[in-house]
Structures are given as C-alpha cells and as structure tokens.
Amino acid sequence: MPPATCDPRSRRAAHPRTRRLVRVGLYPRWPTLRESDHLQTYVAAQPGWHIALRSSDYASGGTLKRPGLQRVLAAARSGVIDVLVVNHLYSLSRKTQHLAFVLNELTSRGVRVVSAADPALDTETAHGLFLVRVVSAVAEIEQTGALADRRDRRRHDQQSADESPLAG
C-alpha cells in the first residue's frame, strides 16, 4: 500500500484552491477591544477560516434572551456559519441547562464551537465536548455558590442591623 502522501485525494485536499473556506461567527458577550483582537487573531491563525458573522451582547449570561446570541443561533439555523468562536464558554451561558441547549442547537446544525482562550474546549472532538460539559457544570456550581454567599451576607447584615443598639 502506498504512503498516504502518494494518494491523489490527499494532494487535492492540500491544494489551496480546493480547500473549503470555513465561515466563522465571533461571539464575545461583553466585548472589549482586547477580546475582539484576540478572537480575530485566533481566526486569522486558522487556515481557510474567515469571519462571516460578528455578534455580541452586553447582557447577563443567565438568560438566553440576548439579541446577539439569537443572531448567532439564527445564523446556525440558516447555515451562515460553520464554526462559532467564543473567548470563554460561559459567554454562551452560565447555566448548564442553557449551555446544553445552545450547544445542541449549534452542533445539531453542524456548527463547531471553539473557545479561543482554551482550544481544548472544542465540540468537534468527543474529549472536547466532554470538557465543555464539565467546565459548564463547574461554572454553574460557582455561580450558585456566589449567589448563596451574597444571600447569606445580606441576611447577616440585616440581622446585625436589627440587633444594633443604634438601630431605630
């Protein structure tokens, strides 16, 4: 059997004219100039990738009712993008259930999701998809813990104010 480099199909795939252009969507949730530059640099380093969609939001990751995220999902449904690049996965959602919905919506339409900050978090591989789910679960645990801490602090502050001899 000849080596793989002798296979005419491999030469055809390596030829720049036959290489498929990959349409990329960028989604920074709270975009800063530094983050936008980082995402663009990441895409520029990938052969054959070009930016087809830029969408962002200045909204909480706790809801899916964000215009920028909805534009991304609509682009996936209509086949406008092949890859979605985010800086961090929690840009898509901080809730595991929401993140699972968004990832399912994107991947079921053939859209690969990649984190520019951590390229191992890539839905194209089983290992990457596993890591994505684990990271999202940890993010939700952290958010739940932070909310509980704030609630406890408010309760403590309220009790302290009620017990104060100066309280009116």
Q: Are 122 and 92 in contact (CB under 8 A)?
A: no
pLDDT of amino acid 168: 52
Query: Phi, psi at residue 10, to the nearest 5°?
Result: -70, -35
Q: Classify 167 as helix, strand or coil.
A: coil
Two structure tokens written together for 103:
């990832």
Asked if residues 96 and 137 have their Cβ atoms less than 8 Å apart, the reply is yes
Task: Write down the pLDDT at residue 54.
Answer: 96
Task: Quote the pLDDT of residue 151.
Answer: 83
Q: Is the pTM of this model over 0.95?
A: no
For position 167, what pLDDT does the model report? Answer: 54
What are the average pLDDT values for consecutive 10-residue runs of the chain, which has 168 residues?
38 50 94 90 96 93 91 97 92 83 90 91 86 75 77 81 62
Cα of 94 vs its chain's centroid, Å: 10
Domains of the chain, CATH where assigned? 4-163 (3.40.50.1390)
Q: Residue 25 pairs with which residues in a beta bridge?
A: 53, 84
Length reported for the chain: 168
Residues 86, 98: Cα–Cα separation, whole Å: 16
